[in-house]
Amino acid sequence: MSAADGEAKVREYVIDGIFVRDSGPIDGRPLVFGHSLLFDGRMWEAQVADLEKDHRCINLDFRGHGQSTPPPRGFSMLAQADDYRKVMDALGVERATMVGLSMGGMAAMHFAVAHPARVVALALFDTSAEVEPPKARAKETAMALTARVFGINDFLLKQVAPIMWSARFRAERADVTKVWDERMQALNKTAAYRAVRMVLTRPAVGPRLGDVRVPTLVVVGDEDVATRPSKAKKIAETIAGAELRILPRTGHISAVEEPEVVTKLLRSFLARTA
C-alpha cells in the first residue's frame, strides 16, 4: 500500500492495485463508495465534497477503472465484492456504510450478505440484485467483444449513452456526458471487456437479501433503462424496512444527473442511521 501525505485532506492509496481516495476526518463515520461500470470514483465527486466535511469518505476505483490497475485475468462479482473487504482491512476500517451505484451497488449487496457484521447501512443506487436478463446479456456481450478489439469507440458510445443517461440530461448537459465519454475511451480495452463480462455473468444476490438487517436506502431514476425501477422495488421489498426513492426525469447515473438531490438523500439517510 502506498499513500500520499497522510496529513492531507485527501489521502490517496493503491491497495492490491485498487486506487482509493480517502478524505474527511480519519475518525469520522466511514462511508465506502463504489461506482458504476465504465465510470470511476469521480462520479461521486459532488457527494464526497459535501460528506467529507464530517464523514470519512473512502472512494474506490474498481479494477481496471480510473487509476486502478487493469486486472491480469477475468474475475467475478464475488471477487469485486471482496475488494471492499481488502480496502477496509488495509485502512483499518472494521465497519462502514456502503454507498454503491449500479455495479458498485451489486458488489455492496454481495459484501453485505458475506460480511454482515461489517456493514452499518446500505445506500443502493440504480442497481439490481438479479442476474443479467438473457436478451440484454447477448446484446451487451457483443458490445463488450467490440470494445475488446476496437476500444470504446464512437459507435459504442452512441449505444451506451441512452443506457447510462436520461434523454433530458443528454440534451441539457452534453458538456458532462462528453467528459465521461472521453474517460470511457481512455479505459484499457481488455480491462473494460473483463469488467463488462464480470457484470454480465454476475450471480443473483436477491434470494439472500432477506438476511440483511441494516438500514437500507434504495434509489433509482424513473428513466433508468439499465436497472429499471422494478429492480429497485424488488430490492426494497426484500430488505426489511428498506426505503425506496424514485427520482423523476433521471437516468442510470443518478449521482451525476442529480448531484444535489442525491447528496440530500444521503445526508438525510445518514442522519437517520447515525
Could you tell me the pTM of the whole model? 0.95
- Whether 184 is covered by a domain: the verdict is no
- Whether 162 is covered by a domain: the verdict is no
- Whether 181 is covered by a domain: the verdict is no
Region 227-238: mean pLDDT is 98
Bridge-based pairing state of the strands 55-61 and 18-23: antiparallel
Can you give the residue range of the structural domain that contains 223?
2-131+202-272
User: Domain total for the chain?
Assistant: 1
- Condensed to tens digits (0 to 9), the pLDDT of residues 27-59 reads 999 999 999 999 999 999 999 999 999 999 999
- Whether 151 is covered by a domain: the verdict is no
| Buried b or exposed e, range 159-178, using 16+ CB within 10 angstroms | ebbebbbbeebbeeeeeebe
CATH code of the domain covering residue 31: 3.40.50.1820
Residue 6 pLDDT greater than 50, yes or no: no
